[in-house]
Structure 1
Amino acid sequence: MPHQLNQYDQPIGLDVPGWNGCLRPTGETLTGKYCRLERANPQLHADDLFQAYQAATDERDWTYLSVGPFTDRQEFQRYLQQQSESKDPLHYIVIDRASGKALGTLALMRIDDKNGVVEVGFVIYSPALKHSRIATEAQFLLMSYALDTLGYRRYEWKCDSLNAPSRAAALRLGFQFEGVFRNLVIYKGRTRDTAWFSIINQEWPQLKQAYNAWLSESNFDSQGKQKVSLSQLTAKEHQ
């Protein structure tokens, strides 16, 4: 890592002049071209979300999550009520701007405003949201809010090390793999080794350009098929 030397010729980290910590997220609505992110509200979102999640053919999407699956409407209502009252994690609902429907969630969590570190988690996408421009834009909106608006220095992604789709998603989104923390968590009665990924503020300007290029209308043909993948664009930024 970049460093400097102190008076004893020991390598030490670079100074961070004027650092006074970050702002904490407030749950304000974030709006993009295709979606908006709203603070979780069971009265507004529970019906849409429950219906969207029930469209899955099985429960595999919940295997690596600490919550769910939900098959009972009232149980899901109680769960979403708890999420709406939480400030860390701070839960957001992904709303399709075209239909106005709630299609998934994600959250800012482990919020460390003193050191400028925050994690994205509780990424729970319905079948209608997966592999869509909305799914990627939702990640971009939250990432930009944390790194640009609030001034965080480090944006994390963590998952079960055995969760291959989540690991692939992190890399596609431009996160850097940092390693595996063994026996870190017990959830649903089983142990979890956790894979860690991050984006730091020095990397963000170039990654932001990659996201804007991918989300541009010019990157999609008349059938909505991408011309250049986000993986290609983010890979270039890390070369």
Structure 2
Amino acid sequence: MYNTFIFDLYGTLIDIHTDEESPEFWERLSYHFLYSGYPIKPEALKEQYREEVSRQFSNPAVKCEFPEIDVHLIFKTIASRKGQCPDVEWIEETVRWFRRLSIRRLQLYEGVKETLIILKAQNKKIYLLSNGQKTFVEEEMRALGIDDLFDGIAISSNPGICKPDPLFYDYLVNTFKVDLSSAIMIGNDATTDIEGAKRVGIDACYFHSNCSPNTTEVDCKYQIWDGNFRRILDMQ
């Protein structure tokens, strides 16, 4: 019997599509910089953003196998090149605009909220282990009404470590005192979610969704290929 359920977020609980490649996206974001007193061309903004992403991966803040970037630091660096020192509020606002302008689809998969509520009513411990930026994750979980259904939320941008790195699981355990002895990991990615769970010695359930990387075979105890999220309740 599983008493601890650890969920991935994007592609597992939340059906999301973002577009950070379109010229329109970077043009609109550049207007935000312009209105804030940091004029920059859309092409230059996109180029500098990508350069900072590459730089952070090349020289991560945390020495680990799978580091995470810090989007807040990226925009702080870009604005600082204009000879200004942006405050925390502006950086947070910019990160929110970056995400909001890129979103093309944002919704829960069918059965997600119902399943989480049932697990909670059964006194199961429910945790989130998500790769992503804290600002994105918290705002989107709140918007979709699931932020209060978890006993703990671990987001990779906080420790600077991503799944499938076992150090990210250590962060979850140490932060929220999670008992992995009766835990199962549920996710839509055979590498970040399923392999990550195997590396820390816990069972996993693969949930195939429209956001899953192309795969036809996954090595784990439970597999859901038909999109029926409620089948997670059968694993108890």
**Structure that is richer in strand per residue:** 1
**Structure that is richer in helix per residue:** 2
> Do they superpose with TM above 0.5?
no
User: Which one scores higher on RCO, CA 8 angstroms, separation ≥ 6?
Assistant: 2
Q: TM-score, normalised by structure 1?
A: 0.28
